[in-house]
C-alpha cells in the first residue's frame, strides 16, 4: 500500500500557482468548498517517485499571513491547525522569478511555522528575457530550503519538484530569521507564558481574526489576557516585522540575484499606458466586451441548436419506444426536458469562461479591475465587482461565486445582491421571441431596431445593478474596512492546458450545482402541469369530445384541445388563473401568468411553457411565434402580444429575480435566508412596478 502525503501549494496571486498545480495533478483534480464556508477548495492527486502519492491542495492566493479576506483566512487556519486532516506534511511556496523579493515575504513567514517548506521559482523561461540570473546554492543556504526552478510553459523542473516533495523530510524546518527581535521583551514574555506553543503561531493567533484549531480553551482565554498591547501597537509591531523580513530578503537577493536592466524589455509599460488610459482603456474594454458577446452568441448557436434538437428527438423516441404510463410521461415530459434545460446552456457558459480565463491568464483582467475601480467605488462597489457583473451575462450562479475575492464584506454583499440584474443567457430566449413579435425590423444608422433593443436591455440591466449598488451603499449600515490592492501581472500568452482545465471545472460546477436544482424543479413543474383536481381535469377528454362533437376536427386537433383544457385546469393552470387579477394590469393573461410562474425555475422555461400552452411542439420556433402573434387579448381585443404588453414583459424580465437557483446560491454565499428573500422581494416589486408603468403608459 503506497503512502500518501499532504502538500499545500501556497503563493501570491499571479505567480503561476495554478499552472504548477495543473502540471502536478493534470486531470486528477476536483473543486469543492471548505467545510462550512464558501471559499473554493481545489485539490488533486500527484504520483511521486517510489510509489508515493501526494494529496495536493491549491490554497487561495495570499500576499502574506496577515489575512485581509475570506480566501486568505483559509490559508492561515489550515497552517495553524495540526489536527486538520489536510494539514500539510510539506508546504510548496510558488514564487515568480520577476517578483521574487515580494514573494519571499510569505515564504519567510511560513518557514517560521516550522513546516518543511520548498521554494518553487516559477516562470524560469523569462530569466534570460529579463536579464535575471540566480545563485541557487547560495539562496538555498540562506533560506534554509530546497529550490525548484520551474517553467510550466516549457515543462521544465516539474520532475525535480516531485523529487523534492518525495524527499521533504530532508528539507530544513529552521526559520530563515528571528523575527521576534522586533520586540524582544514582548516575545520573551509570550514564550515564557506558553512554553509548549510555537512562538510565531501564538503571534498569528493574537493578531489575526481566524480560527486556530485545537489550542486549549484555557490557553485561548489566557492569550486574550496577554494582549497587553493595543490594536495600534500590535499593528505597528506587524509593520516592524514586515520591515525586518524585507531587510533580510534584500540582503539575500543582493548576492543571490543579479538583474541586467539593459536586457529587460519594457513592452508592459507601453501596453499599460494604452490599456489603463482614462479614455482609450474604457473604449478598448467596451470593444472587447462587444466581441465576446457577439462570439458567445454566434459560436454557441450551432451546438445549442444541436443539443435542443437532440433532446427533443430523445424525448420523442422515448415516448414512442417505451410503454405508455406515468413513468414514461415523467421521463419524456419532465426529466429529459429538465436535463435539456441544463445541458443546452453549457456552450454559452463554456465560451464565457473560455474568454474570461484567457483574459485572466493573459494578465488583462487585472487591468480591467484597476480601470473600473475608479467608477465602481463611487457606487459602493469594488473594481473587483466587475468580474462578477461580466460573468452574470452567462449565468448568475458562477457570477455570485466570483465575489469571493472581494475583501470588504459590505462591497461583496452589495455585489452579490445586484449581480442578478445583469442580463443572463437564460433571459435571451425570452428577449429574442418577444422582440421578434413586437419590435419592427427597420434600421437606424445601419443597426437593426431589434438588435438595438437587445443591446438596450443589457444596458438597462447593468444600469439597474449600479444604481441599486449606490442605494444599498447608502442604506446598509455595515462597518467594513475597504481598501483596493490589485497586482498588475506581466502580460503572457495563456497556457492552453490552464484555460482548458478552468473551462472544464467551471462548466462542471454549473452543471452539477445549478443542474440538480433545475432538474428537481422541472420534475415538480411537470407534476403540477400533468395533474389537477376535480372533474374538469379528470374528465377533460369527455368534456372536450362532447364540446367539439359537431365540428369535424382531426384526431391531432382534438388532442391539442384536450391538452390545452387539461393544462388550464391542472394545478399550474389554476395557479395561473389565481394570479391573473394581479398580472392583468401589466397586459398579461393567465397563460402568460403560468409561463412567468414556471420560469421562476429557469428563465428559458418561459418560451417552452407558452409552446405547451399553445399546443405547439418545440420543433418549429416560427410556429410558436405565429401562434403567439395570433393570440387575442380577451378583454381589449387585438393581439395579446402587442407593443405595450411586449415592452412590459421585456422590462419585467429585465428587473425580476432570475431563478430559484440564483436564490439558492445567494443563500449559500451569504449563509443566511435574509438576503436572498430581501433580494427576491425588492427585485420582484421593482419588476412589477416598472412593467405596470410601461404598459399603462404605452397602451
What would the pLDDT profile of 228-245 be if each residue is shown by its tens digit? Answer: 567 778 888 888 888 899
Q: Is 99 within any annotated ligand binding site? A: no
Q: Which residue has the higher pLDDT, 93 or 373?
A: 93
Is the predicted pLDDT of residue 616 greater than 50, yes or no? no
Q: Is 73 within any annotated ligand binding site? A: no
Q: Is 489 within any annotated ligand binding site? A: no
Residue 477 neighbours by CB under 8 Å, 6+ apart:
none
Residue extents of the structural domains in the chain: 4-179
Is the predicted pLDDT of residue 2 greater than 60, yes or no? no
pTM: 0.60
Is the predicted pLDDT of residue 687 greater than 50, yes or no? yes
Q: Is 148 within any annotated ligand binding site? A: no
Tell me the pLDDT tens digit for each residue of 124-134: 887 877 788 88
Q: Is 332 within any annotated ligand binding site? A: no
Q: Is 61 within any annotated ligand binding site? A: yes
Q: Is 38 within any annotated ligand binding site? A: yes
Q: Contact, 61 vs 102, CB < 8 A?
A: no
Instruction: Specify the range with the lowest mean pLDDT, choosing from 37-51, 478-492, 665-679.
Output: 478-492
Tell me the pLDDT tens digit for each residue of 640-662: 788 888 999 999 999 998 677 78
Q: Is 26 within any annotated ligand binding site? A: yes
Instruction: Provide the b/e sequence for 137-175 (b: ≥16 CB within 10 Å).
Output: eebbebbbbbbbbbbbbeeebbeebbebbbbbeebeeeb
- Fill in the DSSP letter of residue 631: -
Tell me the pLDDT tens digit for each residue of 249-260: 999 999 888 877
Segment 295-306 shows an average pLDDT of 73
Is the predicted pLDDT of residue 294 greater than 70, yes or no? no
Q: Is 532 within any annotated ligand binding site? A: no
- Fill in the DSSP letter of residue 50: G
Is the predicted pLDDT of residue 286 greater than 90, yes or no? no
Q: Is 546 within any annotated ligand binding site? A: no
Residue 148 neighbours by CB under 8 Å, 6+ apart:
118, 119, 120, 121, 157, 160, 161, 164
pLDDT band at 686 (very low <50, low <70, confident <90, very high): very high
Tell me the pLDDT tens digit for each residue of 135-175: 999 999 999 999 999 888 888 888 999 999 999 888 888 88
Q: Is 60 within any annotated ligand binding site? A: yes
Q: Is 66 within any annotated ligand binding site? A: no
Q: Is 373 within any annotated ligand binding site? A: no
Tell me the pLDDT tens digit for each residue of 360-403: 778 787 787 778 777 777 887 876 777 788 777 767 777 787 78
Q: Is 36 within any annotated ligand binding site? A: yes
Is the predicted pLDDT of residue 513 greater than 80, yes or no? no
Compute CA 649 distance to the chain's CA centroid, rounded to the nearest angstrom: 28
Q: Is 8 within any annotated ligand binding site? A: no
Q: Is 125 within any annotated ligand binding site? A: yes
Q: For residue 339, count other CB atoms closer than 10 A to its CB.
A: 18
Q: Is 211 within any annotated ligand binding site? A: no
Residue 570 neighbours by CB under 8 Å, 6+ apart:
528, 529, 530, 531, 532, 537
What's the confidence (pLDDT) of residue 635? 65
Radius of gyration of the chain (CA): 30
Q: Is 15 within any annotated ligand binding site? A: yes
Q: At the fourth CATH level, which superfamily is domain 4-179? A: P-loop containing nucleotide triphosphate hydrolases (3.40.50.300)
Question: How many CA atoms within 13 Å lie on the side-chain side of 323?
Answer: 1
Q: Hunting for cell 433571459 — which residue is that?
A: 427
Q: Is 123 within any annotated ligand binding site? A: yes
- Rounded Cα distance, 33 and 9, in Å: 16
- Rounded Cα distance, 262 and 400, in Å: 45
pLDDT band at 342 (very low <50, low <70, confident <90, very high): low
With 0-12 / 13-18 / 19 or more C-beta atoms within 10 angstroms meaning exposed / middle / buried, residue 371 is buried
Q: Is 14 within any annotated ligand binding site? A: yes
What kind and span of H or E run contains 159?
helix 158-166
Tell me the pLDDT tens digit for each residue of 667-677: 878 888 899 99
Amino acid at each position: 500500500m503506497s503512502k500518501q502525503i499532504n502538500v499545500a501549494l501556497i503563493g501570491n496571486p499571479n505567480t503561476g500557482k495554478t499552472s504548477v498545480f495543473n502540471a502536478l495533478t493534470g486531470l486528477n483534480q476536483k473543486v469543492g468548498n471548505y467545510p462550512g464556508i464558501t471559499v473554493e477548495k481545489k485539490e488533486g492527486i500527484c504520483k511521486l517517485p517510489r510509489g508515493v502519492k501526494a494529496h495536493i491542495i491549491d490554497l487561495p492566493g495570499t500576499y502574506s499571513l496577515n489575512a485581509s479576506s475570506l480566501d486568505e483566512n483559509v490559508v492561515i487556519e489550515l497552517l495553524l491547525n495540526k489536527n486538520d486532516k489536510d494539514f500539510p506534511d510539506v508546504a510548496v511556496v510558488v514564487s515568480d522569478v520577476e517578483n521574487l523579493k515580494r514573494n519571499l515575504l510569505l515564504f519567510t513567514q511560513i518557514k517560521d511555522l516550522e513546516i518543511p517548506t520548498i521554494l518553487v521559482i516559477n516562470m524560469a523561461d523569462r530569466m534570460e528575457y529579463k536579464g535575471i540570473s540566480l545563485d541557487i546554492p547560495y539562496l538555498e543556504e540562506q533560506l534554509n530550503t530546497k529550490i525548484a526552478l520551474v517553467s510550466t510553459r516549457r515543462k521544465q523542473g516539474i520532475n525535480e519538484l516531485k523529487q523534492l516533495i518525495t524527499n521533504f523530510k530532508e528539507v530544513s524546518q529552521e526559520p530563515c530569521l528571528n523575527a521576534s527581535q522586533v520586540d524582544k521583551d514582548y516575545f520573551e514574555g509570550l514564550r515564557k507564558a506558553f512554553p509548549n506553543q510555537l512562538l510565531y503561531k501564538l503571534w498569528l493567533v493574537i493578531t489575526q481574526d481566524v480560527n486556530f484549531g485545537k489550542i486549549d480553551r484555557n490557553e485561548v482565554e489566557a492569550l486574550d489576557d496577554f494582549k497587553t498591547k493595543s490594536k495600534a501597537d500590535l499593528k505597528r509591531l506587524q509593520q516592524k516585522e514586515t520591515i525586518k523580513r524585507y531587510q533580510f530578503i534584500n540582503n539575500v537577493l543582493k548576492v543571490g540575484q543579479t538583474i541586467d536592466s539593459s536586457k529587460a524589455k519594457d513592452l508592459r509599460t507601453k501596453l499599460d499606458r494604452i490599456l489603463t488610459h482614462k479614455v482609450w482603456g474604457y473604449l478598448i474594454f467596451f470593444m472587447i466586451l462587444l466581441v465576446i458577446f457577439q462570439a458567445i452568441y454566434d459560436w454557441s448557436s450551432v451546438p445549442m441548436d444541436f443539443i435542443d434538437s437532440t433532446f427533443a428527438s430523445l424525448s420523442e423516441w422515448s415516448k414512442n419506444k417505451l410503454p405508455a404510463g406515468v413513468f414514461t410521461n415523467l421521463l419524456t415530459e419532465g426529466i429529459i426536458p429538465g436535463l435539456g434545460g441544463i445541458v443546452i446552456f453549457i456552450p454559452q457558459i463554456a465560451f464565457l469562461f473560455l474568454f474570461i480565463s484567457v483574459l485572466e491568464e493573459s494578465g488583462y483582467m487585472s487591468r480591467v479591475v484597476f480601470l473600473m475601480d475608479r467608477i465602481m467605488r463611487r457606487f459602493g462597489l469594488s473594481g473587483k465587482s466587475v468580474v462578477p457583473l461580466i460573468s452574470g451575462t452567462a449565468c448568475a450562479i458562477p457570477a455570485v461565486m466570483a465575489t469571493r475575492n472581494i475583501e470588504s464584506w459590505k462591497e461583496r454583499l452589495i455585489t452579490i445582491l445586484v449581480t442578478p440584474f445583469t442580463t443572463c443567457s437564460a433571459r435571451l430566449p425570452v428577449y429574442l421571441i418577444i422582440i421578434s413579435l413586437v419590435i419592427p425590423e427597420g434600421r437606424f444608422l445601419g443597426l437593426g431596431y431589434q438588435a438595438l433593443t437587445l443591446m438596450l436591455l443589457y444596458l438597462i440591466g447593468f444600469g439597474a445593478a449600479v444604481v441599486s449598488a449606490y442605494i444599498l451603499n447608502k442604506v446598509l449600515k455595515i462597518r467594513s474596512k475597504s481598501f483596493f490592492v490589485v497586482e498588475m501581472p506581466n502580460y503572457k500568452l495563456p497556457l492552453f492546458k490552464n484555460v482548458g482545465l478552468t473551462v472544464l471545472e467551471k462548466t462542471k460546477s454549473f452543471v452539477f450545482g445549478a443542474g440538480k436544482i433545475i432538474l428537481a424543479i422541472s420534475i415538480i413543474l411537470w407534476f403540477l402541469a400533468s395533474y389537477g383536481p376535480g372533474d374538469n381535469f379528470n374528465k377533460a377528454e369527455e368534456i372536450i369530445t362532447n364540446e367539439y362533437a359537431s365540428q369535424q376536427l382531426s384526431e391531432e386537433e382534438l388532442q391539442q384541445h384536450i391538452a390545452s383544457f387539461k393544462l388550464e385546469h391542472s394545478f399550474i393552470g389554476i395557479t395561473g388563473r389565481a394570479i391573473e387579477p394581479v398580472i392583468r394590469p401589466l397586459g398579461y393573461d393567465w397563460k402568460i401568468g403560468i409561463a412567468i410562474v414556471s420560469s421562476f425555475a429557469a428563465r428559458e422555461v418561459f418560451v417552452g411553457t407558452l409552446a405547451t400552452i399553445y399546443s405547439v411542439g418545440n420543433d418549429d420556433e416560427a410556429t410558436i411565434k405565429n401562434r403567439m402573434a395570433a393570440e387575442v387579448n380577451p378583454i381589449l381585443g387585438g393581439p395579446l402580444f402587442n407593443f405595450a404588453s411586449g415592452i412590459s414583459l421585456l422590462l419585467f424580465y429585465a428587473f425580476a429575480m432570475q431563478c430559484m437557483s440564483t436564490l439558492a446560491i445567494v443563500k449559500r454565499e451569504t449563509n443566511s435566508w435574509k438576503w436572498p428573500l430581501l433580494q427576491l422581494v425588492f427585485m420582484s416589486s421593482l419588476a412589477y412596478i416598472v412593467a405596470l408603468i410601461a404598459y399603462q403608459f404605452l397602451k
